[in-house]
Amino acid sequence: MKAEIIAIGTELLMGQTTDTNSSWLATQLPALGIDLYFMSQVGDNLGRAVDTLQRAVQRSDLVLTTGGLGPTEDDLTREAIAAFLKEPMYVDPALKEQLIQWFQSRGGRMAERNIKQAMLTKSASPLGNPRGTAPGWWVEKDGHIIVAMPGPPREMQRMWEFEVAPRLKQRLTGEAIVSRLIKTFGIPEGTLDEMLGDHLHGNNPTIGVYSKTDGIHLRLTAKAGSEAQAWTLLSPLEAAVRQIVGQSLWGTDQDSLEGIVGTLFTERGMTLATMESATGGLIASTIADNPDASSYFKGGIVALTPSSLVAHGVEADLIERFGMVSKEVAEDMARAARAIMDSDVGIGITGVSSVPDSATRATGAVHYAISHAALSRGFSANYPQGRLVLKQRAASAVLFELQKFVSSLSAAGKL
């Protein structure tokens, strides 16, 4: 099955919004054995949207659209599909009732123009959207499928997962594609490339190398007549890659660093506390992204200045002697976090990002430390790519080292 993705919205052509829906959908298609040949973005213009749709249906079996399902007049995806189908739109009473309920349950009333979102045509059936007011459309016509999904990523992704992908799976027989995402941290992309050598040149299975904020991801993909056969192709490559990347591997597939950290702390019944300056609370926020965080994360402190560090138990003398951005202060922050919050493990991080008079120091220097009664470790790094990159990279680095730290504690029998 050949697919094509169309993202609809003038904001995409203004450059203010980058179309991440298309790349997200692109990652979902291989597992279904669907080939993607084209992606495009078109503005909120009826004529151009219809043209784009027409060409897409000519050359593809499946056309996925995102965006343009909102209540406003420039949301034209329904209109474009109806025009392409040459079918009139009508208000579906059941959809209208759902919409009214949706607004009532939130204590509001439905604006008159939202009625648009209850419209269908003869060939279109609705796709549920519990996260928003815009139902999707599933259209079948002359052996082609058009699926219209809303633009907000969390509405679109939910609709894809629960409404669209299951329907497509039913239709598809044929090639199965399986893939495994290997997540690493700490090896630069070029080096990893060299280490992988000839493994990168295979046709089936293949390896893709992608740089992400939480490290380098490797996507291993294999195709075969059945899913089992595809896994048989993939497994030896996965074993080889795991061997090559070694200790820098931290997870696979849907794993997140905060999830891995959460599992380790929960399994061991340990607790965690943080004290941050350079990352301004991003590490605490990332740890708290794990739904179980409150069972092991005893709390975090954000302190951007020497006086607020001292107020939270960091030794003034160390700040005086080594400066706020120093290995020594990071270590004392980790210790102080542990002491104040009465936790098993403490994290401290300091860096130039939060200090405005950074002209005198190497920009992007970060020091962080992990502290436990039986073991302490300090780390230094440099992220000269600006404040936001520094925060993200440093948060990933800390969580990566934290999971290694906790694992090594257990290995050393220190728990």
Report 185-244 residues binding a copy of itself (CB under 8 A). 188-191, 193-194, 200-201, 208-211, 217, 219
**Residue 135, amino acid:** P
Give CA–CA dist 279/353, Å, rounded: 8
Shortest CB 201 distance to a copy of itself, Å: 7
Is residue 22 at the binding interface for a copy of itself, with CB under 8 A as the rule? yes
Residues 97-136 interacting with a copy of itself (rule: CB under 8 A): 106, 108, 111-114, 131, 133
Query: Closest separation between CB of residue 94 and a copy of itself, Å?
Result: 20
Q: Are strands 62-66 and 2-8 parallel, antiparallel or unpaired?
A: parallel
Supply the angle between the helices 257-268 and 387-411 in degrees, to the nearest 10.
Answer: 30
Comparing CB distances to a copy of itself, the nearer of 256 and 407 is 256
First to last CA, the chain: 53
Choose which of 46, 228, 239, 311 interacts with a copy of itself (CB under 8 A). 311
Q: Among 8, 32, 34, 42, indicate the residue that binds a copy of itself (CB under 8 A).
A: 42
CA distances from 369 to 119, 149, 276, 306, 347 (A): 57, 45, 11, 17, 6
CA distance 154 to 149: 11
Name which position in 1, 31, 48, 339 contacts a copy of itself (CB under 8 A). Answer: 48
Integer Cα distance of 152 and 170 in angstroms: 26
The span of 71-79, 244-252, 328-336, 406-414 binding a copy of itself (CB under 8 A) equals 71-79
User: 336 is written with which tokens?
Assistant: 């102080």
DSSP string computed for 274-287 = EEESTTTTHHHHHH
Q: Which x/- pattern over 282-301 shows residues binding a copy of itself (rule: CB under 8 A)?
A: xxxx-xxx-xxxxx-xxxxx
Residue 230: phi, psi to the nearest 5? -65, -40
Residue 354 makes contact with a copy of itself by CB under 8 A: yes
Answer for the pair 338, 359: CB distance below 8 angstroms, yes or no: no
Minimum Å gap between C-beta 300 and a copy of itself is: 4
| 13 lies in the site for a copy of itself, by CB under 8 A | yes
User: How many residues at the interface with a copy of itself, by CB under 8 A?
Assistant: 104
- By beta-carbon proximity to a copy of itself, the closer residue of 55 and 123 is 55
Which is closer to a copy of itself, CB of 83 or CB of 187? 187
Site for a copy of itself in 77-96 (CB under 8 A): none
| Residue in this structure with the two tokens 């008079």, named with its chain if needed | 357
The single residue listed with the structure tokens 């934290």 is: 402
Q: Which residues contact 198 (CB under 8 A, 6 or more apart)?
A: none
Q: Is 360 an interacting residue with respect to a copy of itself (CB under 8 A)?
A: no
Q: Which residue in the set 157, 235, 363, 382 belongs to the binding site for a copy of itself (CB under 8 A)?
A: 382
